[in-house]
């Protein structure tokens, strides 16, 4: 990537993210009353993270099978209320172990 | 000063969590083509997990600046809501320049801890609260970016799941406890699959795809299942 392009991307990210946080913090003293706007904003974190995760997560490890195992582990642990760190590490570990198994099987062919 | 040290204490757990997640960000950033110091700068100037992951995706795909701006706007829009809530809870000395400086550190976790504090939140407390998470986030990014070249491929491949694991850990408990969030999040995921696989639609870049899915599903949610104030507090 061209250096100037990187700085421009960085500047855009910084300005937008900074203003989103600081502008309402400085300006607002009253709550937003409109329940539709409030509801829209309440749904946003989950719809954003859901759409970011699926289907991209299945292509995150280079193997759809190991990624799927990681997803199943993550869903199970998250359902049981485990913390962010536990879920993230166990999902990675599961995918790693499955990658190893696939690799050993590949070796066994020869 | 007592307020500041209390903030440091309350922020230490967040700092450790950020250290591990930003490590995977550093890995992902370098494997998507950034230099280590570029990854570090992105973390120093943004302090936002989902936004930064989306950001490096746009960079890797050589997306437009408009696409970058809109993806950051939509993904980080929740911070605006948090900043509004937090603005009702800070003490009267926490204003002006302090707000402009410390408002930068509004993240999901820092916000949650600040709001759970009894009484008003002072500038000193919030500064203390933000210190270790900021250090954890930047240090972890640096380590991940530098280690990216050392770690074996299958380890860094597996760590590519970590950020998604974290996202899953955020959305699943909310989906479990609220059927409206369950339905609307599944709708967003269904849109996301459609945009990814349907012919004609799959040319849409991933940054815009997330925006379209999230805005459409959330708007449908707000229209079909609006929440009243008390319900939103629970979420």
What pLDDT score was predicted for residue B217?
Answer: 96
Task: List CB contacts of B140: < 8 A, sequence separation 6 or more.
Answer: B18, B19, B20, B21, B22, B23, B25, B26
Residue pair A99/A63 in contact by the 8 Å Cβ criterion: yes
B181 φ/ψ angles, rounded to the nearest 5 degrees: -65, -35
Residue B228 CA to residue A34 CA, distance in Å, equals: 10
> Cα-atom radius of gyration of chain A, to the nearest Å?
21
Nearest chain B alpha carbon to A9: B65
Tens-binned pLDDT, residue by residue, of chain B (235 aa): 789 999 998 888 788 778 878 998 998 898 888 999 999 999 999 999 889 988 998 998 899 999 999 989 988 887 887 888 788 888 888 888 999 999 999 998 888 788 878 888 999 999 999 999 999 999 999 999 998 778 787 887 887 788 788 889 888 998 999 999 999 999 999 999 999 998 877 667 666 788 789 889 999 999 999 987 555 554 4
CB contact under 8 A, A12 and B69: yes
Chain A partners within 8 Å of B162 (Cβ): 88-89, 91-92
DSSP string for residues in B181-195: HHHHHHHHHHHHHHH
Is A55 touching B (CB cutoff 8 A)? yes
B121 φ/ψ angles, rounded to the nearest 5 degrees: -105, 125
Is A32 touching B (CB cutoff 8 A)? yes
Segment among A10-14, A63-67, B23-27, B225-229 with least mean pLDDT: B225-229
Which of the residues A15, A26, A42 would you substitute to probe the B interface, choosing the one with the greatest number of B C-beta atoms within 10 Å? A42
Is B201 touching A (CB cutoff 8 A)? no
Task: List CB contacts of B148: < 8 A, sequence separation 6 or more.
Answer: B26, B27, B30, B31, B36, B156
What pLDDT score was predicted for residue B234?
Answer: 46
Residues above pLDDT 90, as percent of chain A:
47
Q: How many CB pairs under 8 A join A and B?
A: 299
Per the prediction, chain A carries an average pLDDT of 88
Q: Is the peptide bond before B220 cis (omega within 30 degrees of 0)?
A: no
What pLDDT score was predicted for residue B211?
Answer: 78
Is A64 touching B (CB cutoff 8 A)? no
Average pLDDT (A96-106) is 86
Residue pair A69/A90 in contact by the 8 Å Cβ criterion: no
Residue pair B27/B145 in contact by the 8 Å Cβ criterion: yes
This prediction has a pTM of 0.76
Residue pair A17/B72 in contact by the 8 Å Cβ criterion: yes
- For chain B, how many residues are written? 235
């Amino acid at each position: 990537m061209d250096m100037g392009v990187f700085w421009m991307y960085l500047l855009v990210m910084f300005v937008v993210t900074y203003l989103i946080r600081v502008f309402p913090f400085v300006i607002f003293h009253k709550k937003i009353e409109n329940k539709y706007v409030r509801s829209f904003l309440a749904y946003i974190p989950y719809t954003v993270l859901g759409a970011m995760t699926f289907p991209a997560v299945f292509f995150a490890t280079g193997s759809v099978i190991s990624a799927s195992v990681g997803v199943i582990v993550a869903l199970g642990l998250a359902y049981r209320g485990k913390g962010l760190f536990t879920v993230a590490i166990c999902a990675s570990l599961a995918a790693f172990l499955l990658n190893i198994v696939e690799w050993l099987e590949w070796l066994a062919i020869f | 000063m007592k307020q500041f040290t209390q903030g440091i204490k309350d922020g230490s757990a967040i700092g450790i969590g950020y250290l591990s997640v930003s490590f995977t960000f550093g890995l992902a950033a370098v494997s998507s083509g950034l230099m280590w110091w570029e990854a570090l700068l992105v973390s120093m100037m943004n302090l936002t997990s989902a936004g930064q992951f989306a950001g490096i995706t746009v960079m890797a795909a050589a997306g437009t600046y408009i696409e970058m701006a809109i993806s950051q706007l939509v993904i980080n829009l929740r911070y605006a809501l948090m900043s509004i809530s937090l603005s009702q809870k800070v003490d009267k000395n926490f204003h002006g320049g302090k707000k402009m400086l410390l408002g930068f550190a509004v993240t999901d976790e820092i916000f949650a801890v600040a709001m759970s504090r009894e009484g008003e939140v002072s500038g000193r407390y919030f500064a203390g609260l933000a210190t270790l998470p900021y250090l954890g986030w930047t240090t972890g990014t640096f380590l991940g970016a530098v280690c990216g070249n050392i770690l074996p491929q299958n380890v860094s491949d597996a760590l590519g799941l970590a950020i998604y694991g974290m996202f899953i850990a955020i959305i699943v408990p909310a989906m479990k406890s609220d059927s409206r969030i369950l339905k609307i999040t599944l709708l967003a995921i269904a849109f996301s699959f459609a945009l990814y696989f349907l012919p004609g639609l799959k040319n849409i870049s991933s940054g815009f795809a997330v925006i379209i899915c999230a805005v459409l599903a959330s708007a449908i949610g707000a229209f079909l299942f609006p929440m009243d104030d008390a319900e939103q507090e629970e979420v």
